[in-house]
Every structure is written in C-alpha cells, then in structure tokens.
Amino acid sequence: MSRELELLLFLLALRASGEVVAGSAEAAAAAAAWPGLQVGFYHAKCPVAEDVVLGEMRMILEEDPTLAPSLLRMHYHDCFVQGCDGSIMLRSRSGKGERDATPNRSMRGYDAINRIKARLETVCSLTVSCADIIAMAARDAVYLSKGPWYDVETGRRDGDVSVAEYAENDLAPPDSNIVDVKTFFSVKSLNAKDIAVLFGCHSIGTSHCGAFQKRLYNFTGRMDQDPSLDAGYAAKLKKLCPPGHGHDHDHDGHGGAGGAAKVPMDPGSGFTFDLSYYRHVLATGGLFQSDGSLRDDPVTRGYVEKLANASSSSEYFADFAAAMVKMGRTDVLTGDLGAVRPTCDSLVD
C-alpha cells in the first residue's frame, strides 16, 4: 500500500472517530467563507497535499518532538508580520529579514518546512504555497501533541518581502503587560478571548532564561521580583536561572546560546497540548509576564479561570480551532496576489 493511500485512510478514520473538532459559536463563525481561502482548496489540484504534510510531520516529530512548539510558533510569527504569507521562511544575505529579527533568532523548524515543501514538489509541482504548509504544519504539530484536529483553510499565496524591523515591531515580547498584548492582537483583529485562547499554545515548549529573567531579578528596575509571581515557583525558576544566566529573549525554540537552560512553559506537561497551562497560570502567574497578565483583564482572567477548572478539554479545543482559523486569515495573499514559491527559503536580497 502506498504511503499516500495509508495517509488518506488514516484521515478518514480520524474523522470517523469524532476527534475532529466540531463546534462552538466561534467555530461556526470561523467556518464561514473567507475570500480566497477554503477548506479543501487543494482537493482538485493536489488531493494528497494535507496527507503528505501530516505524513512528513509524523516523521519529523518522531525524530525531534521538540519541533512541535517551534512549528506552532512559526505560524503565529508568520501571520503577525505582514500576514500569513510564508515570508518568515525567506533568507536575507544582508541579515535584515524576518529570520534575523530578535524574536526569531531562536526559531527552529525552517528545515522541517523545507522538507515538507520538497516532498510536495515531487507530487504537485508549484501548487502548494509555503504559507499553507506552515499553517498545516502548525495544525499537525498540535494534533500530534494530543491536541485537536481541525480543518485548515488553504489558498494562501507566498509573499516576497521580509523585513526584520517589521517583526521587531509586530510581535509582542514576553514581558508585555495585558494592555500591550491587547494592542498587538487588536491590530490583527483578534480580541481578548482570542488572546486567552491562543496563549494556550504555551502548553507545549520551553524557554531560555532571558525571556523571563527580568521578572525574577529586576522587574521595576530596582532589582526586585514581580510581586504577581508565586514565590514558590519563582524560587524554582531562580535555581534554574541564576542572575545573568542566558541572554536570549526567546521561547519555545530550544535555540540560542549553547548550554542555556531550557525551562518548560507548562511544567509537568511540556509536550502535551492540554488545559494544564491555564491551571499553571492561575496558580503561579505563568512563566512569562505576558502569561501572568492574562489575570489582569476581566475577559482573559474569566477564561483562564473557566479552563483551569474545566473537567474536559472539548470546549477549549473548539475555541482553539476557531481562533487558529481566525488568525490564519490575517492579511492573506490570495488569487492573483503573491505567488507559489518553488522553494520556501528563497533569498530575498
């Protein structure tokens, strides 16, 4: 039996099992058509596209499970900078592309996307965009981390502009307060609930110390600790991250300086996509200041409290699917806009 047929049978079995996220009001709204995007965009042009992506993702994560959070993060960073157009994959000779921006210096997963693209090019040349591959890979990363399977709208085309400054300006740093976070997200038409839902991505992955060290040692510039951070949790973090340890303001990517400590964003459940992140945030204030800031807004706090006390992940999984579809529509290039690149990591200059 061919690998393509095996993957098709797997997807049919998955849908029949009921594991595919069904509904909520938000999911129903997300299901409405979006100009240029649709579920099954490649069914006629490349019917095995999603099967190939999932098959490659299975092998990629079997080889390195730590890539799951990185590939999920890549979709977020791609969409928030000039829209979901695959521009994060472009390389710059001058070191001025999105890859070179501070928030992306620890990004991993570029080789994984290139690998998936190369495989797709052997079966459907110049058909599946890098932007869509990133979106599908993010969905598969969640699913293969025991999270939900949800339908991904496809039909995006690739952009050809990649500027580090845009990434520096458009991505909320981990030490953001809730006002700043809401500002960054509102520009992308994402509301307070979307923030609370999408921050659940921090259920998987790790961070280097530099992304949260300020909370431990110099929160207000007076060599103090963030008073909202649970004292017991702070003490554990200080053991892992002594003063001056780690200089990379990044998370989830296992990158940065060699030997730097890697701290789970969701202790005890760092590779399982589940509700424990919300329990962790409610009880301790979370790893990042931006995590803890979810407790400072009535909408985001209410959602955190609800999920922290939930007995089932079904509502969250439906909300997450809807929020990911919504984010995946950000400033997309469709129709005659953009292009389908033959390779994802083309040089931009």
Chain-centroid distance of CA 178 in Å reads 19
Question: CA 100, CA 124: separation in Å to the nearest integer?
Answer: 31
Annotation-wise, does 312 bind a ligand?
no
CA distance 9 to 97: 40
- For residue 151, the tally of other CB atoms under 10 A from its CB is 18
Closest CA to 230 of 174, 163, 307, 295: 295
266 is in an annotated binding site: yes
- Using an 8 Å Cβ cutoff, are 33 and 153 in contact? no
Report the Cα 171 to chain-centroid distance in Å.
12
Question: Does 85 carry a binding-site annotation?
Answer: yes
Catalytic residue among 77, 249, 254, 280: 77
Classify residue 334 by its DSSP letter: -
Cβ 266 vs Cβ 277: under 8 Å: yes
Q: Residue 218 has which token pair?
A: 């110099």
249 is annotated as an active-site residue: no
Q: Token pair for residue 263?
A: 């701290």
Nearest Cα to Cα of residue 321 among 77, 79, 30, 35: 30
- Tell me the DSSP string of 51-65: HHHHHHHHHHHHH-T
Q: Is 202 annotated as a binding residue?
A: yes
Q: Answer yes or no: is 81 a known binding residue.
A: yes
Give ∠ CA 318-83-120 in degrees, rounded to 5.
Answer: 80
Is 132 flagged in the annotation as binding? no
Rounded Cα distance, 206 and 213, in Å:
14
Detail the residues annotated as belonging to a binding site for Ca(2+).
Answer: 78, 81, 83, 85, 87, 98, 266, 274
- Give the catalytic positions in this structure: 77
Positions at the binding site: 78, 81, 83, 85, 87, 98, 202, 266, 274
**Residue positions forming the annotated binding site for heme b:** 202
